[in-house]
């Protein structure tokens, strides 16, 4: 246990860089279900990253995000997952997560990021999925900077670049 405690910051960054790889790959996918699959892995890794750093709001919000990905993935084929109650439930759950794990006013950032992405990921259009990630990345970039999530800072910078490239390559180049 001593090794983990002494090296938890370093371990958190490694986990974060693995999450970053999944995030970048996710927005290069053509199909919504593939985007969501990589987002699920990414969210689980970010939850572990923030747990290791001791940031409970970000940990819980990312855990919720992983659950949300599973529900949204099922939306295409499962009638139960198509109900509008799901984005509403995840929207309210993000607020509850922020309130219940309140660390400081900075807790508003992951909460807001989750709320924006909840609405964006509910959409069926992959272009909308990519577009909604830009304001979410800005919110997380600020949070990651404040809480020394260097993997998170790199993630958001690379994600913004990746999303812009994907928007050009997959959504605008054709036109």
Tokens in use for 158?
């690379």
Residues 111/95, Cβ–Cβ less than 8 Å: yes
Task: Name 124's Cβ contacts closer than 8 Å, sequence gap at least 6.
Answer: 32
Record the pTM.
Answer: 0.87
Nearest one of 44, 37, 34, 89 to 65, comparing CA atoms:
44
Residue position matching structure tokens 């990921």: 121
Tokens in use for 40?
């699920």
Nearest one of 112, 36, 23 to 67, comparing CA atoms:
36
At 38-54, the pLDDT tens digits run 999 999 999 999 999 99
What's the gap between Cα 108 and its chain centre? Answer: 15
Nearest one of 18, 16, 37 to 27, comparing CA atoms:
37
Mean pLDDT of 80-98: 95
What integer best gives the mean pLDDT of the chain? 91
Domain boundaries, the chain: 2-172
At 9-39, the pLDDT tens digits run 999 999 999 999 998 888 788 888 898 899 9
């Amino acid at each position: 246990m001593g090794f983990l405690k002494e090296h938890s910051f370093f371990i958190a960054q490694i986990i974060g860089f693995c999450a970053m790889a999944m995030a970048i790959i996710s927005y290069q996918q053509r199909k919504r279900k593939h985007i969501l699959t990589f987002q699920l892995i990414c969210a689980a890794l970010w939850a572990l990253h923030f747990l290791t750093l001791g940031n409970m709001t970000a940990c819980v919000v990312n855990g919720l995000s992983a659950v949300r990905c599973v529900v949204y993935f099922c939306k295409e084929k499962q009638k139960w997952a198509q109900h509008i109650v799901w984005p509403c439930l995840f929207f309210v759950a993000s607020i509850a997560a922020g309130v219940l794990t309140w660390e400081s006013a900075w807790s508003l950032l992951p909460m807001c990021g989750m709320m924006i992405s909840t609405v964006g990921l509910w959409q069926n259009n992959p272009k909308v999925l990519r577009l909604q990630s830009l304001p979410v990345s800005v919110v997380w970039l600020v949070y990651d900077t404040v809480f020394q999530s260097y993997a998170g800072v790199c993630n958001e910078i690379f994600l913004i670049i990746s999303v812009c490239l994907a928007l050009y390559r997959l959504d605008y180049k054709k036109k």
